[in-house]
Amino acid sequence: MKLRTTLAVVALVTLYSTGALAVGDAVKGKAYFATCGACHGAAAEGMEALNAPKLAGQESWYIVRQLQNFKKGIRGANPLDTYGLQMAPMSQLLADDQAMEDVAAFIKTLAK
């Protein structure tokens, strides 16, 4: 049992140190979110008129994954996906995965 615990700790430390399990900084994320708020609302409540979904209450991993998918062209590349085409260039404003983690950390602080 001790060996399993030790291996689990080593695995987590390795993932954090390589950035695979990055921890977001909500203060930095707030600054990044200023652009997002134009469509998703200042409190990430979403805006139906813009078809921008509510982000408050979403899990951080989900927000990061969607941002990564937009940035990589997995989402928002289909010419028939009007709203995805609008979101794709916005994801490019986040320089890297850490910036995405920071935005997600800030969203996590908002009321659901």
Domain with 91 in it: what CATH number? 1.10.760.10
Evaluate whether residue 8 is within a structural domain. no
Evaluate whether residue 67 is within a structural domain. yes
Q: How many domains does the chain have?
A: 1
Evaluate whether residue 53 is within a structural domain. yes
Evaluate whether residue 11 is within a structural domain. no
| pTM for the full predicted model | 0.78
Structural domain boundaries enclosing 91: 23-108
| CA atoms of 80 and 16, how far apart (whole Å) | 38
Evaluate whether residue 7 is within a structural domain. no
| CA atoms of 24 and 46, how far apart (whole Å) | 22
pLDDT tens, position by position, for the chain (112 residues)?
666 665 555 555 545 444 455 799 999 999 999 999 999 999 999 999 999 999 999 999 999 999 999 999 999 999 999 999 999 999 999 999 999 999 999 999 998 8
Evaluate whether residue 1 is within a structural domain. no
Evaluate whether residue 89 is within a structural domain. yes
Beta strands in the chain (DSSP E): none
Evaluate whether residue 45 is within a structural domain. yes
